Structure 1
Amino acid sequence: MEAVLQLESQILSLRMAIREGLTDEENAKLRLQELEVLDERRLEAQQHFECYQAQVSKAFNKKVHPCSFQMGYLILALRKAIVTTHKTKSKFTSKWDGPYVIQEIYTNGAYLIMAEDGLKIGPINGRFLKCYYP
């Protein structure tokens, strides 16, 4: 790190190089050294960024709990995911609708749910569902 600081103080603009009495070759060498130092700094920054991303993803994944349901489970579905056209009547109405029964399981976490009266609700993502405990 000290070598980098020394190089930075030595690297001069063309006007300053002429003023200091440096030849074009010496100035060109200093510029090449500066470029090499910049490549090293970029590599260090990239490594630091990758370590930071790994730490952030590890912290995020600690809080993620994968949830999977089996056929026949009783579940509640988020009301907004099912009915998006009408607004709720008051702020005290439940955000969850149900209970529903899981009819089919699709790939990528999608589920086909059915109401107790036999009405099938289209495929819904599993993140909008939670277990129902009577």
Structure 2
Amino acid sequence: MARAFNVRVRHREFNPCDLVLRKVLHVAPNSRGKFSYKYDGPFVVRETFSGGAIILSDMDGTENVLPANAETLKKYYP
């Protein structure tokens, strides 16, 4: 069963200076329901760790304090 599941898993590899979008994990109280934004960004990858944690920064260079999980990111192609 695990082998069948792992066939469909896509490996995501992020390198420094890649542009990514971060999934919005919480719903704001004044959101627009199903029409709210699903992703936030773009962000720049600053550093990656072996466990899947990624340090992001904004486009203007301010670094985020908390790391993001690689599962919540997807590459952004402008």
Give the structure with higher Rg (CA).
1
Report how far residue 118 of structure 1 moved.
Answer: 2.3
Q: Which amino acid aligns with 1:69?
A: F
Q: After TM superposition, what 4+ stretches of structure 1 lie above 2 angstroms from structure 2?
A: 84-88
> Compared with structure 1, are the counterparts of its residues 88 and 131 closer, same or farther at alpha carbon in structure 2 (3 Å cutoff)?
farther
| Partner Cα distance (1:114, 1:88) in 2 | 26
Indicate conservation of the 8 Å contact 1:103/1:111, yes or no: yes
Specify which structure has the bigger relative contact order, considering alpha-carbon pairs within 8 angstroms and separated by 6 or more residues: 2
Report how far residue 120 of structure 1 moved.
Answer: 1.8
5+ residue gaps in structure 1?
1-55
Say which structure is richer in helix. Answer: 1
Q: Give the aligned CA root-mean-square deviation in angstroms.
A: 1.6
Indicate conservation of the 8 Å contact 1:74/1:133, yes or no: yes
* Alignment partner, residue 23 of structure 2: 78
> Compared with structure 1, are the counterparts of its residues 96 and 72 closer, same or farther at alpha carbon in structure 2 (3 Å cutoff)?
same
Query: What is the aligned counterpart of 2:7 among 62, 83, 94?
Result: 62
**Kindly, what percent of the aligned residue pairs are identical?**
34
Q: Deviations over 1:5-44 (max 9, x none)?
A: xxxxxxxxxxxxxxxxxxxxxxxxxxxxxxxxxxxxxxxx
Report how far residue 87 of structure 1 moved.
Answer: 3.6
Indicate conservation of the 8 Å contact 1:68/1:109, yes or no: no
TM-score of the aligned structures, taking structure 2 as reference length: 0.86
* Alignment partner, residue 44 of structure 2: 101
5+ residue gaps in structure 2?
none
Give the stretch that moved more between structures: 71-80 or 112-121. 112-121
Indicate conservation of the 8 Å contact 1:77/1:130, yes or no: yes
TM-score of the aligned structures, taking structure 1 as reference length: 0.52
